[in-house]
Structure 1
């Protein structure tokens, strides 16, 4: 009898065309997973040919529903939510428009909720525990002036994932079917989104690179998050990670004059 090849494990990265999400998507593809990316822009550059892509704008509810339905048609082994809307610039609360707040909520929080609602059942349909990786931020712990909407929406997203992790605790029925992990960069990360907010000639030499998240992504792919369920991890520039409880991430906040950008 001819042995049938095992189907490739499937992964989904929401917001995976650039930035930290792309670092995770590339690492999972290198680990042999069949990776689908949902994002507005097409993944480009080295490794893009290994990624499936579905154009998805997280502010378009109908498009999001369709994209997630396709992505969850079969079991998923790993999911990462990395989509984020920082805002056009840092600005004091009194200078922020309602439209900006709504977009931050749509992308940073509601998009996460939609992704969880569609992918958790797919993560539970695997023969090994599925893992959900949420990309967090130091602003969850530090807040800070000029980032009220970003801080509020990211903190709410972290609480949403914490609540899910507690529902999936060791004494919950079927707890081994799903593991939830949150991770955040120790410092600023060199991404296209950040570069749009910086002046020409800015020095990025001390910024982290998205590939710094590759070691953690590979670990999650190999172990399905064993021993890391419910953890908040800080990833440093060398790719090492430590629990946020060991030391809080450094605040990236600064004083912002009224009407000034960042």
Structure 2
């Protein structure tokens, strides 16, 4: 595919999981992609990489400023801190809540502050948020994760209403079900069966399509991505909750 040749993309939190799949899809379509993450993407990915810890505000601001020095056609925010496992609010330490705030919510704020000017210069640039069904469902054992992801959604809804759509468009994507990723595998038993789980590469098609169109049809929308790679707007139906007390 050569449809994205000449365009520049940035993925924050793109070393693994959905963020990595977005970065690889853009790169394979010809885009020049820089990944910002704590760990370097492994394998022959063809991705450029700079180290960043979104919980380190000073360092993150510096790295983001450098990455945004030229026009950006697309930015994806996929950085996330879940915690070691699902746990009730009363069992969650303050340190975990602060880490979720720093990475999930403040990390997005820092990314937006740095990259919106670069996206405007691309006229129009696309901001692609990797969201979650917890924005719509909440659920036991994940209060901090749900609260910070919902905060991200509200932040983007406000910015969507502020920005000129000829300059910046904002779209969120989220999985219809659980996704097999390194983060999930760290929280599952060694013999867990992942055959029913989605794969990160289910997000490849929509990631490329949204850059091709700069998100024109879906500006301000949240799109549920399904296991066959298709997608649908949350305006046509709330995503299914993935809450499961047995996994707490």
**Structure-1-length-normalised TM-score:** 0.90
Stretches of structure 2 that go unaligned for 5 or more consecutive residues are none
DSSP 3-state at the match of 1:68: helix
Distance 1:182 1:166 in 2: 15
1:160 aligns with 2:160: no
2:214 maps to 224
2:77 maps to 81
The equivalences for 1:64-213 within 5 A come to 64-126=60-122, 128-168=123-163, 174-213=164-203
Give how far 1:175 is off: 2.9
2:56 maps to 60
DSSP 3-state at the match of 2:217: coil
**65-74 vs 185-194, which moves further:** 65-74
CA contact (8 A) 1:9 1:34 kept: yes
DSSP 3-state at the match of 1:175: coil
Distance 1:32 1:220 in 2: 14
2:10 maps to 12
1:255 aligns with 2:245: yes
**73-82 vs 243-252, which moves further:** 243-252
Give how far 1:63 is off: 1.4
Give how far 1:166 is off: 1.3
1:4 maps to none
Distance 1:120 1:17 in 2: 22
Give how far 1:8 is off: 2.3
Distance 1:41 1:237 in 2: 27
Cα RMSD (Å): 1.2
Deviations 1:57-93 (A, max 9, x none): 1111121012101101111000000011111111111
DSSP 3-state at the match of 1:227: helix
Q: Which has the higher helix share?
A: 2
1:27 maps to 25
1:171 maps to none
**Structure-2-length-normalised TM-score:** 0.95
Distance 1:8 1:254 in 2: 44
1:3 maps to none
Give how far 1:36 is off: 0.3
Give how far 1:116 is off: 0.2
Stretches of structure 1 that go unaligned for 5 or more consecutive residues are 1-6, 169-173
